[in-house]
Amino acid sequence: MSEKSTTGRPTRQLGKTGAMVEIVSLGGEGILRTNGQHKHAVPMIEEALHLGVRYMDTAPAYQQSQDYYGAAFKNLGAKAREQVFLASKTHRRERDQALTLLDDSLERLGTDRLDLWQLHDLRSQNDLDRLFGKGGAIEAVEQAKADGRVRFVGITGHHDPAILVEAMSRYPVDTVLCAINPADRARSPFLTSVIPEARQRNVGVIGMKIMAAGRLLRDHAATPEELIRYAASHTDTVIIGCSSIAEVRQNLAVRDTFTPMSESELAALEARIAPHAERYDTFKR
């Protein structure tokens, strides 16, 4: 479902969560995946909030990103936290360890709940067996949802699309975060596996790796606008890790003028990237 926000910018419904998100969201990488960069990272988050970003992503594995978010929310007051759909993750596969990590995340973020808690970086059948087995992290999800620490649950992965498809068949997750860029179709595509499965199940789709960790830009293979429009033409929102306030503003300028790519535009960009696609999907199995 798409509609216009009160600002006139396009928003989409994030699957069965019912939350309305803009097409561009703030990721937890870039400068946020660093240590000791408070004086640069916190103002960047504050600028994103000022410019209306609704969905914000982080993870315990992303160094001090949670601390930076927590500092920004503290600086701007409780209203700032309430205006965003806040997502974090757990890389632990066991119930008790996942709950310990959740409580640490909440403390660092300065909040009493997550809007979305994601099972992070699923790669193998062993990951799924541990998560969904006795004493696995899915028990932590159920407990945290019951006691209000977590509203919704998601899965993430960029290694093997089949694992995310299998995870969706095992548990009614609310969202999936997966890799989407113009190199995707060349090998083990998420576009033709994970996304159709998610749409059938009304699972929200969040795109990542949309610039291939910046390699597509450094190679001058595509512009930021092309890559955002490409990924956002397939997803509900895309998360982008930024290194500066200027990058935040540049990405959100695309949001403000966004139009989905036509089928011919999508195909043309894929064809342009295809001869060197292996450079841009190194995160896959």
* Domain assignment present for 143: yes
Q: Which H or E run contains 276?
A: none
**Domain annotation covers residue 211:** yes
- Structure token digits, residue 19: 């939350």
CATH number at residue 223: 3.20.20.100
Contact call for residues 127 and 162 (beta carbons, < 8 A): no
Condensed to tens digits (0 to 9), the pLDDT of residues 202-217 reads 999 999 999 999 999 9
What's the whole-model pTM score?
A: 0.95
Least Cα distance to 205 among 249, 161, 241, 247 occurs for 161
* Angle ∠(183,189,193) on CA atoms, nearest 5: 150
Q: At what angle do helices 224-232 and 245-256 cross, to 10 degrees?
A: 50
Q: Which token pair is 38?
A: 């408070």
- Rounded to whole angstroms, how far apart are CA atoms 222 and 215? 10
In 3D, which of 18, 2, 10 has the Cα closest to residue 175? Answer: 18
State how far the Cα of 46 lies from the Cα of 79, in Å rounded to an integer.
12
Alpha-carbon Rg for the chain in angstroms? 18
Strand partners, 55: 85
Task: Assign 3-state DSSP to the chain and report helix, strand, coil percentages, each to 5.
Answer: 45, 20, 35
- Residue 233 placed within a domain: yes
Q: Distance between CA atoms of 4 and 126, rounded to whole angstroms?
A: 42
Residue 238 forms part of a structural domain = yes
* Nearest by Cα to 188 from 208, 222, 159, 148: 159
Query: Average pLDDT of each block of 10 consecutive residues along the chain (285 residues)?
Result: 61 96 96 96 97 96 96 95 97 98 98 98 97 97 98 97 98 98 96 98 98 95 97 98 96 94 98 96 91
Residue 62 resides in a domain? yes
Whether 161 maps to a domain, the answer reads: yes
In single-letter form, the type of residue at position 248 comes to V
Q: Look at residue 1 in the predicted model and tell me its pLDDT.
A: 55
At which residue do the structure tokens 């995707």 appear? 184
Q: What total number of domains does the chain contain?
A: 1
Domain assignment present for residue 209? The answer is yes
Q: In sequence order, what are the residues at sequence separation of 6 or more whose Cβ sits closer than 8 angstroms to the Cβ of residue 82?
A: none
Which structural domain range is residue 212 located in?
Answer: 17-277
Residue 21 lies in a domain: yes
Tens digits of residue pLDDT in 135-161: 999 999 999 999 999 999 999 999 999
HSE-CB of 21 using CA atoms within 13 angstroms: 31
Question: CA 117, CA 86: separation in Å to the nearest integer?
Answer: 9
Question: Residue 21 CB: number of other CB atoms within 10 A?
Answer: 23
